[in-house]
Structure 1
Amino acid sequence: MIRPFGINEALFIVEAIRWTLALSAVAFAGGAIGGLIVALCRVSSVAPLRYLALGYIRLFQGTPLLMQLFLVYFGLNIFGAGINPWLAASLALTLHASAFLGEIWRGCIEAVPSGQSEAAWALGLGYVDRMKSIVLPQAAKIAVAPTVGFLVQLIKGTSLASIIGFVELTRAGQIINNATFVPFKVFGLVAILYFVLCWPLSLVARWTERRFAVATQR
């Protein structure tokens, strides 16, 4: 039976934001760890590590996120892993984020002037100390804007987790629409909520990019 779209239905959609944010946070945190490893492998002097990281990036950047979600969820279940939608979505998005953040941060590391590394070598600093004390702190400043920009894309990308049954913002909208059959109201609200989540982050990304540009011109 079709029921009217009321306050309870709207609240059900709004409350689903917490799962969108939770999935985004888990994927971003895991992707940050994996992305740093990938980025360091990409700039490593060890050729096998560079090629392995490059292959990883090409794989996840060259295939749709939706397919990656399907492969993780259905693939692991075929092998008897018994993974649930929450774990599957977290794992797939973490792998996806690792590839993109790794490439973003690789570019930021290489953007640090080579003279900085040469000075570190002249001071007798080893690879770990050079990265920790000289290169990575400077690369982090460059990386803020593109990293926040990717976070916006990651939040929107969590909507694909609805395909495997994870009840986040988009899936909550689908559930309510199936019960009320008022798609304009339901998905209009969903779109507004995504905008509220993503627009402030987009402003932060643009602000930090402008601030960094001004700082480098001084």
Structure 2
Amino acid sequence: MSIRKHIIKWMAMTALPFYFFIFLLLSCTTDSYDKGQGKYSLMQAELVDLSINSEKEATAFTLDDGNRFTLTPYATAKWIETADTTYRAVLYYNQVSETTAEPVSLGAVPTLRAVKHWQLGQQPEDPIGIESAWLSKNRKYLNLGLLLKTGQADDNDGTQKVALAQDTIRHNDDQTCTAVFRLLHDQCGVPQYYTSRRFISILLPDTVKLDTIRLTIPTYDGQLERIFLP
């Protein structure tokens, strides 16, 4: 199963369609492994596409530059719920050889796909912090480092919602193509006691070649527009 199919299935299971939920309380921990020593013992951290086998084990990963590594040993995590699929993840690892790596720690990275704005019943614009934004080397993803205000309350489970609205994909007179996206955020009444860093990856359209991406983000300082050139 591909990442795209996994997203569609996951979104269809949520109470509100087209939203990708970030479970802050459940995702504060990651599954760790004892650090090993190999020929390349310097630990690295990357956003990766993680391959899952029929036993719900992570067996290999592909970097955004196209390099692929087999995991030794295989890795598991509580958030890996679907077999024979691909997850987006942040992976800490030791490179053992040119084609193998030893896992140290891994965490899930929510993946968003743009939805036409008129398909979204709700379009909340609660402010959210943005720390970083960059295009992946393979131009498949637009990665965001978010700073979420969070906390705990007796009547709240700590879940916030993030979605991506596609306002338009415009074909310009100079034969270029521009996508206009808006990041949507619903605080869901979660207390804002402290800041939590989270990564998300936006899966870019593969049916049209984009020359420019305009992304608007509702920050605490107002609407922020970032422009990317794939």
Query: How does the TM-score come out when normalised to structure 2?
Result: 0.23
Structure 1 or 2: more strand by fraction: 2
More helix by proportion, 1 or 2? 1
**Greater gyration radius:** 1
